[in-house]
Amino acid sequence: MIRKFWRTRITIDVLSEDVPMSDDADLESVAYDIDQGDCVGKIVWADPEELTPKEMADALLDANCEPEFFGLDEDGKSTEQDLDDLEDELK
């Protein structure tokens, strides 16, 4: 089975008065400030980009996540045995 990996970039423009949004705010805080606080937000979606397994492994590492999250090693190779491989072994 061919696996596909995707990156979707979402940009949030935050409009605020008096002080800017803190540069260390996490996503939950940004959402709260827009939804419940004194900020206005606009979401801008970019076109999804298909990534190779290696690009996905690098992107996961850049996001402070292990590539194993998607069953990859650091080189983008699958750490999960495909069903086709299992069937071949059983023959």
Query: Could you report the per-residue pLDDT of 39-52, keeping only the tens digit for each?
Result: 999 999 999 999 99
What value does the mean pLDDT of the chain take? Answer: 90
Average pLDDT score over residue span 57-62: 98
The percent of residues in the chain predicted with pLDDT above 90, rounded, is 84
Q: What is the dihedral of CA 35, 39, 40, 41, to 10 degrees?
A: -70
6 shares its domain with 42: yes
2 shares its domain with 16: yes
pLDDT of the residue at 91: 57
Structural domain span for residue 18: 1-50
63 shares its domain with 89: yes
38 shares its domain with 80: no
pLDDT of the residue at 90: 60
Judge whether 60 and 69 are in contact, CB under 8 Å: yes
What is the band of 80 on the pLDDT scale with cuts at 50, 70, 90? confident
The whole model's pTM is what? 0.70
Domain count for the chain: 2
Distance, in Å, from the CA atom of 73 to the CA atom of 57, rounded to the nearest integer, reads 7
36 shares its domain with 1: yes
Q: Which two tokens stand for residue 49?
A: 């980009």
60 shares its domain with 26: no
